[in-house]
Structure 1
Amino acid sequence: MPPRAVLTSAAGVGDAEAQWLAEAFSARPRRLSPTALVIPVDEAPEGLVAPSGCDLNILSGGFVPRLFIADMDSTMIEVECIDELADYAGVKPQVSDITERAMRGELDFEEALRERVSLLKGLPVSVLQECYNQRITFSPGAAALLAGLRGAGVETALVSGGFTFFSERVAAELGFHSHQANSLEVDNGHLTGRVTPPILGRAAKEEALRRISERLGISPFQAVAIGDGANDLAMIGAAGLGIAYKAKPAVAAEADVRLDHSDLSAVLALIGVALP
């Protein structure tokens, strides 16, 4: 498979975008879906800027993924679970500020998680299900992405620095093969304000990628990893294709691919898997 350029957009890529792509690369693009076009390339012209609302990514040829490993909060789902729980506890502004700084890489993830969870002390466990029912929404394209990956025989893993209560439910609804996250400590029906060690953070996400790859008998370079925050950087860097999804600047700068305007179904276009 030759190198290729993939143009994607959640709003769709129409005739005007197709014409722009053809002129930019002097070749005829092929439509993958209403939201994606692909075109063979020799090299990217300097200073090329994609049409407004579109993501343009240049990829080398021949990449066939065997594993898809994903962050959960602000990636597969649209919110940060801990921030939503903090709203029920009346401390959302404090927790959201810490979350934002941790995701930008300004704070140590493990310490930031302990600090945020401590602010949830005394919250009834029943609130977790209420939060899931009322606040958790899947990112656009998530269901189509997982359906396409399953159809292509790709192993899927959800690896979250959040909490197992949510990762278990998100994984089940979307159809991930496995999930892992952190466990909230509970006593007498209430959160204690502590996380059961060890904490799953930046290093643990990369370790999960390597462990699952070893179990499958593949190289990490046959994996696709996607995330948005600094704790995803090691996982994204270790994978054969690392994707920054509506990510913090530090993550977008390091990833192989940036998706700022596209929904998650664009991942299928990037790896050559047909939309279901």
Structure 2
Amino acid sequence: MTTTSNTADAIAQAPGLVCQGFVPPLKLRDFKLIAFDMDSTLINIECVDEIADAAGRKAEVASITEAAMRGEITDYKESLRRRVALLKGVTVAHMQQVYDERLQLNPGAAELVAACQAAGLKTLLVSGGFTFFTDRIRDRLKIDSTRSNVLEEQDGVLTGRMVDQAWGDICDGDEKRKMLLQTCADLGIDPSQAIAMGDGANDLPMMGVAGLSVAYHAKPAVREKAMVAINAGGLDRLLEVVRLEP
């Protein structure tokens, strides 16, 4: 039996790691871009839920978030507008408190991002969340580019609305897909050379056009459609499937 066969068998038997539609391992250097969702993928929380906690509305907002991530609410933009409206009156200081006290990188996030960067991949963060957090995670992990939503605020207080941007109004699943494809075009690469990693239904559009789709502790519908499902352990378990060798 060859070494590759031995490795593939070992991966196939690894607890909490599921591969479908291809024979592992792949080579990381064969890819040129990796795109990450943020909330519950790169980080441990859903930021909108934690911001809502400051307004005493976490349960109401979290129930909408959960239904949207499961794909039960098909209009993601409307679901986000409903949640953001409930944030009216929360202060920017409260958001900073969420970042400082509640937000953590998920296990293996920094290690995976660093390994991809060392292998020459560009990194992209696409989120249905908010620039307040994506900008900080971008700087913390030295991510190349981001796309997310802007919360409107006046005098340090959220208005319950979002700000339209040059590319559109809300970063939903379709916008994540467009951003991945546009980044590939800008880099002069084929989408088959991209990896897309997420956990919720709004990540499926970008995962569907990437060469390798990865579900991280994801909703059942996302796990079923992903080529790799990491159901136990950290994000860096992807490196068991996509190897660092030249």
- Per-residue CA deviations over 1:164-207 (Å, capped at 9, x if unaligned) read 00000011112211112100011122100011131000100000
Q: Which residue is equivalent to 2:66?
A: 100
- Per-residue CA deviations over 1:244-276 (Å, capped at 9, x if unaligned) read 1111011111111111013111122322126xx
Moved more, 53-62 or 216-225: 53-62
Q: Which residue is equivalent to 1:67?
A: 33
Aligned length: 236
Consecutive unaligned residues of structure 2, counting only runs of 5 or more, are none
Q: Which residue is equivalent to 1:33?
A: none
Q: Which residue is equivalent to 2:197?
A: 226
Q: Which residue is equivalent to 1:39?
A: 7
Whole-angstrom distance in 1 between the partners of 2:7 and 2:91: 53
The alpha-carbon deviation at position 29 of structure 1 amounts to 7.4
Consecutive unaligned residues of structure 1, counting only runs of 5 or more, are 1-25, 31-37
Moved over 4 A (4+): 26-30
Pairing of 1:189-228 with structure 2 (within 5 A): 189-197=156-164, 198-228=169-199
Pairing of 1:129-144 with structure 2 (within 5 A): 129-144=96-111
1:257 aligns with 2:228: yes
- Per-residue CA deviations over 1:212-254 (Å, capped at 9, x if unaligned) read 0000000111000000000000000110000011110111111
The 8 Å contact of residues 65 and 271 in structure 1, kept in 2 or not, is answered as: no
Q: Which residue is equivalent to 1:57?
A: 19
Whole-angstrom distance in 2 between the partners of 1:273 and 1:194: 44
Percent identity, aligned pairs only, is 43
TM-score by length of 2: 0.90
Residue type at the aligned position of 1:164: T
Q: Alignment partner of 1:153: what SS?
A: coil
- Per-residue CA deviations over 1:53-81 (Å, capped at 9, x if unaligned) read 43142534666110000000000001100
The alpha-carbon deviation at position 125 of structure 1 amounts to 1.5
TM-score by length of 1: 0.80
Q: Which residue is equivalent to 2:81?
A: 114
Q: Alignment partner of 2:31: what SS?
A: coil
Moved more, 253-262 or 203-212: 253-262
Q: Alignment partner of 1:72: what SS?
A: coil
